[in-house]
Structure 1
């Protein structure tokens, strides 16, 4: 997938509100062809054994960049470089573990959903492409974790305990499931794009993994947006109210699952509890970051009729309200600048 392809996918949201069924299926056909034309293999497209990709525990590239909330905190910056590296490696490994656990849930949910798709379904073809790509992502993440050598837990214990239930949502409540998919994909995608856009100093292996992940997630997010746009306006009054209220709740829960470090970061890495509490999400800067994470899905909620008067208050109560993005992947600086430039000028990774 070229950079222009990704920009096109990021801006397909602009046309989704008027999609007919035939246009929706044409979108899925386009996404399916993009998966055929450009896809990645975890053990072909990441040169694991290249010297530049070796995991070196003395390499200062493992120091967390300021794009990561912990990396910007004075407590972390005050540590000796060796400790910053140790914590950075653990933090990266755990983010990948959470990512692969989430994608495992997604793969199982997709298989649950497509089981009942009719013959000739454009959704069946695209979603099986997506599941294939997500399998490669889980391999890619786990291989990096193994090479780092950190025995990280990933998601909190309570989430790991109920993981078998979540994929069942896909056939019973598909709209809720694909909103949950976005809730898992958007925070990771936003954070990785932020690091890549800002030229954060990260190890080559991390940069390559992020580049691959961002490129393919553009398609996955495009599908989920299209699905919500097709389904939201067709809900009845009661169902729309329920789903509009669940939308921000799902987003906030998933955002915390993905971004808030587990207690093991404190018990094993010695990060003070008050630092974690400040970063996630007591400090004003962290509140801004939290709001930025969900600008794209706020736009989606508005355009899919799932932003109601009641749900707007729920977004605010959960502290993830704010101005919706004007187009997919609008950079945070432009969110703050009403006179910002046209999306055609935006570089995406």
Structure 2
């Protein structure tokens, strides 16, 4: 598929970056001050979910039907912690990617200045996610060692569309889930406030990254496009498959292997993944990045 979105020039992206810098100065949060971290997590909020049940990995399975309400609630808590842990891990990667990218740019360029402003946003988000995981009484979930090591290679070498496209996948699939929870009054208010802050600030990051991907995909040759498409799909697949740690099941008393199989075969959860990825996959398709050879990779993690 050829790109159907309007081509972006460097000057166009610079104008966007300038507008986003203004938005950053006017509409940024300080999680330390804007979230009441002393509010009780349980107590008056006992029984509130931490994710909408229909987005929990086991929802709709026979195993879910056997689980007690307390186990379902605890699974939503642990899966929220796993999602937040994966999110902060990837934002650490993003900070390193943006820093390395900015190193080669003109510091007077608004794009460079916006990248530096985004690093500040992401630093606060990492601290916010870490504090939220701690506050709900869950552990930090780590990605598999193999993924951790591959990520070191990715953040040291990624450039062009391969730098920005997987970042968009990671940010936008979580953004869609977070937007759903913001106005869901059955979800714990702490989770909703964390998500509200992240959604507002992440919208700027997504706009900048989308324009960079569109510009870069229009500028590179056919061989470079194939390389960028494959590498972007592989990184996105690794990140997506890491969102829910298998350890969440053991931590609520389920048989880990049985639960992993149930989640893997759960068509409802696969549909949730496709829903989470719907907007970003449509955008990547417009840029010519979802092709006959990358679609099976995205399909493995149910993004298409």
TM-score (norm 1): 0.77
2:273 to 290, 304, 329: 290
CA contact (8 A) 2:88 2:129 kept: yes
1:144 to 118, 132, 148: 132
The CA distance in 2 between the partners of 1:275 and 1:84, in whole Å, is: 13
Cα deviation for residue 48 of structure 1 reads 1.4
The answer to whether residue 167 in structure 2 is matched with residue 184 in structure 1 is no
Cα deviation for residue 116 of structure 1 reads 1.5
The CA distance in 2 between the partners of 1:256 and 1:309, in whole Å, is: 21
Q: What do residues 226-251 of structure 1 show as CA deviations (whole Å, max 9, x unaligned)?
A: 11000001111111122223333332
**Alignment correspondent of 1:127:** 115
**Alignment correspondent of 1:194:** 180
CA contact (8 A) 1:63 1:84 kept: no
* CA distance 1:139–1:241, shift in 2 (3 Å): same
The CA distance in 1 between the partners of 2:51 and 2:12, in whole Å, is: 43
The answer to whether residue 263 in structure 2 is matched with residue 279 in structure 1 is yes
The CA distance in 2 between the partners of 1:305 and 1:70, in whole Å, is: 30
| Secondary structure in structure 1 of the residue aligned to 2:55 | coil
2:36 to 28, 44, 47: 47
* CA distance 1:86–1:319, shift in 2 (3 Å): closer
- How many residue pairs are counted as aligned between the two chains? 299
The answer to whether residue 48 in structure 2 is matched with residue 61 in structure 1 is yes
Q: Which runs of 5+ in 1 are unaligned?
A: 1-14, 322-349
**Alignment correspondent of 1:207:** 192
The answer to whether residue 201 in structure 2 is matched with residue 216 in structure 1 is yes
CA contact (8 A) 2:58 2:259 kept: no
| Secondary structure in structure 1 of the residue aligned to 2:33 | coil
Q: What do residues 38-97 of structure 1 show as CA deviations (whole Å, max 9, x unaligned)?
A: 101110111212xxx322277101364223233634534543333333333222222211
Q: What do residues 176-231 of structure 1 show as CA deviations (whole Å, max 9, x unaligned)?
A: 1211211221221121123335x251111111000001111111111111110000
The answer to whether residue 104 in structure 2 is matched with residue 113 in structure 1 is no
The CA distance in 2 between the partners of 1:31 and 1:16, in whole Å, is: 21
1:104 to 89, 92, 97: 92
**Alignment correspondent of 2:19:** 30
Q: Which runs of 5+ in 2 are unaligned?
A: none
**Alignment correspondent of 1:332:** none
* CA distance 1:67–1:216, shift in 2 (3 Å): farther
CA contact (8 A) 2:48 2:187 kept: yes
Cα deviation for residue 124 of structure 1 reads 1.1
Matches within 5 A, 1:10-25: 17-25=6-14
**Alignment correspondent of 1:330:** none
